[in-house]
Amino acid sequence: MKTKGLSEKIQELKKKRHAIILVHNYQLPEVQDIADYRGDSLELSRIAANTDAKVIVFCGVHFMAETASILCPDKTVLIPDLNAGCPMANMITTEALRKLKEKHPQAAVVGYVNTSAEVKAELDVCCTSTNAVAVINALKDKKEVIFIPDKYLADYVEKKTGRTLIKWNGFCPTHVKILPQDILREKKFHPKAKVMVHPECLSSVVAMADVVLSTSQMGKFAKETPAKEIIVGTEVGLIYRLKKDNPQKEFYPASEAAVCPNMKRITQEKILWALEELKDEVRVSDDIRRRARHAIDKMLQII
Ligand code: 13P
Ligand code: SF4
């Protein structure tokens, strides 16, 4: 008798639990392959907000699962590895943000979705890499704007909006590994290739790009551009999706060093355990959830 494979067992249990599997674009291929939906931070939040499923298995990092839980408190949100955190999100605490707000009491406070629920509860509005520029443009009447925690995303938004932001010294340890010389080298090897980069990259790298995009926007660009070769300035996990969706095109990672170890913690085996045991559940206290939700809803109204 044929024994059931992992993915088959996951599919069966998923049905039994009325669960869906949401998968970020950087996840391991084996996880992307069993996704109900793959996407960037914004897309996955929207799907979480609108699903009828009872259980959401969130394959990404902790702040993403927390965002899903904030948007659907009546659902069980599971993360298959509780240690899958985002170091950038850990670079700012509520206490530090409160101090910054005290220094600038009139400032609007905008926070990247890559923050904890506690930090989101301190924000006026949240943003993702897809909509950061639109969110700042929507705050034209505000003289001062605090933008946390990613200084490189803030730099990019400043360039696009012509505004000066009050920034925090946070950054993504994975994206800063992509250096200008990496782009130069890849361009030399592939002179016809377009360069697309994530706005979490160093400003010097962003300045060398043809396009600056979120991970799912990169997926769309890769499909729509007539270019046959693309240099990809983001976490290397995205390349799997790009190649699968565009087998006739070539994708070159700007740097093989751009790996987010936290995004690689989740495996099919851990997904099966999560569904079997219904854990680990990500939950946010009511007070934090209510305040954080306000910042997320404000973002969803803008875009
Ligand atoms: P995206 O929203 O573009 O997928 O980015 C999330 C992230 O953590 C990038 O490092
Ligand atoms: Fe956080 Fe960077 Fe990993 Fe994205 S790639 S989850 S910002 S550490």
Q: 175-253 has which CATH code? A: 3.40.50.10800
CB of 263 sitting under 6 A from ligand 2 = yes
Give residue 2's pLDDT band: very low, low, confident or very high (50, 70, 90). Answer: low
Q: Does domain 2-86+263-284 have CATH number 3.40.50.10800?
A: yes
Q: Write the residue with the smallest CA distance to atom 1 of ligand 2.
A: 86
Q: Residue 187: is its pLDDT beyond 90?
A: yes
CB of 85 sitting under 6 A from ligand 2 = no
Report the pLDDT value the prediction gives residue 1, as an integer from 0 to 100: 59
For the chain, state the CA radius of gyration: 19
Q: Residue 247: helix, strand or coil by DSSP?
A: coil
Q: Write the residue with the smallest CA distance to atom 7 of ligand 2.
A: 172
Question: Residues 248, 228: contact at Cβ < 8 Å?
Answer: yes
Q: Considering the chain, what percentage of its residues have pLDDT values greater than 70?
A: 99
Q: 89-171 has which CATH code? A: 3.40.50.10800
Q: What is the distance in A from the centroid of ligand 2 to the CA of 253? A: 16
Report the pLDDT value the prediction gives residue 302, as an integer from 0 to 100: 86
- Looking at beta carbons, which pairs linking 133-136 to residues 24 or more positions away fall under 8 Å? 133/157, 133/160, 133/161, 134/302, 134/303, 135/110, 135/299, 135/302, 135/303, 136/110, 136/161, 136/163, 136/165
Q: Tell which atom from ligand 1 comes closest to the C-alpha of 263.
A: 8
Q: What is the distance in A from the centroid of ligand 1 to the CA of 1? A: 43
pTM beyond cutoff 0.85: yes
Q: Write the residue with the smallest CA distance to atom 2 of ligand 2.
A: 172
Give exposure, 146-170, as e/b (b: 16+ Cβ within 10 Å): bbbbbbbbbbbbbeebebebbbbeb
Q: What is the distance in A from the centroid of ligand 1 to the CA of 213? A: 10
Whose tokens are 């609108």? That residue is 50
Report the pLDDT value the prediction gives residue 303, as an integer from 0 to 100: 80
Between CA 143 and CA 286 the distance in angstroms is 32
Report the pLDDT value the prediction gives residue 42, as an integer from 0 to 100: 87
Residues recorded for the chain: 303
In sequence order, the β-bridge partners of residue 57 are 21, 78
- pLDDT per residue as tens digits for the range 16-33: 999 999 999 999 999 999
CB of 81 sitting under 6 A from ligand 2 = no
> 2: which DSSP letter?
P
- pLDDT per residue as tens digits for the range 124-174: 999 999 999 999 999 999 999 999 999 999 999 999 999 999 999 999 999
Between CA 76 and CA 96 the distance in angstroms is 31
Residues of the chain with CATH 3.40.50.10800: 2-86+263-284, 89-171, 175-253
Instruction: For residue 243, give the H/E element and its range.
Output: helix 238-245
Query: Nearest 5°: CA angle at 18, between 16 and 24?
Result: 120
